[in-house]
Amino acid sequence: MSAKLETESLLLRPMAGRHLSQTLDIWTQPEVRRHLWGDKVIGEERAALEIARSQDSFRSSGFGHWAVRRRQKRRVIGSCGLLRVPHTEQLEIIYCIDSSLWNNGYGTQAARAVLAFAFDELQLPLVHGRCARDNIASLRVLEKIGMRPGRPHPHDDCEGAHLSISRDEYRGTSPPP
């Protein structure tokens, strides 16, 4: 199982220490952190901890955060990944893209690649997604990758939009709810 993912215009690689500076720059952009960190500015220590947790997760479970970059470019433009929903065995997809590159389809491409990995490589039965209700762009990404509301969600106690997609729905063997 290779954790290196590719799309038409993106390369996704498991996040490593070398991605810290560029990723922190993105994670602390006001437009990004508003939706990712609850509008809190995180420091290098917190970002390094997230990357270390991701590396541990890749070693133990085969998933975590991927650094996203455009083909032919070296600069990281975002992150995308799978995280365990706290206190459950279920996973949710997460993503963010440098705000200067929004509306280019990069978030959707990255999320599709990670979702395909979740179902094709990890053989997960279900993947969740969530976002703030006012984060229309993120909601559209979840919808574009086939997620729909309708089934119980492990984050139902949290405000926001909660969507999911099953492996059968992803593969087209059953219609979305």
DSSP code per residue over 42-108? P-HHHHHHHHHHHHHHHHHHS--EEEEEETT--SEEEEEEEEEPTTSS-EEEEEEE-GGGTTSSHHH
51-68, pLDDT tens digit by residue?
999 999 999 999 999 999
Domain ranges of the chain: 5-171
79-111, pLDDT tens digit by residue?
999 998 878 888 999 999 999 999 999 999 999
User: What's the fold here for domain 5-171?
Assistant: Aminopeptidase (3.40.630)
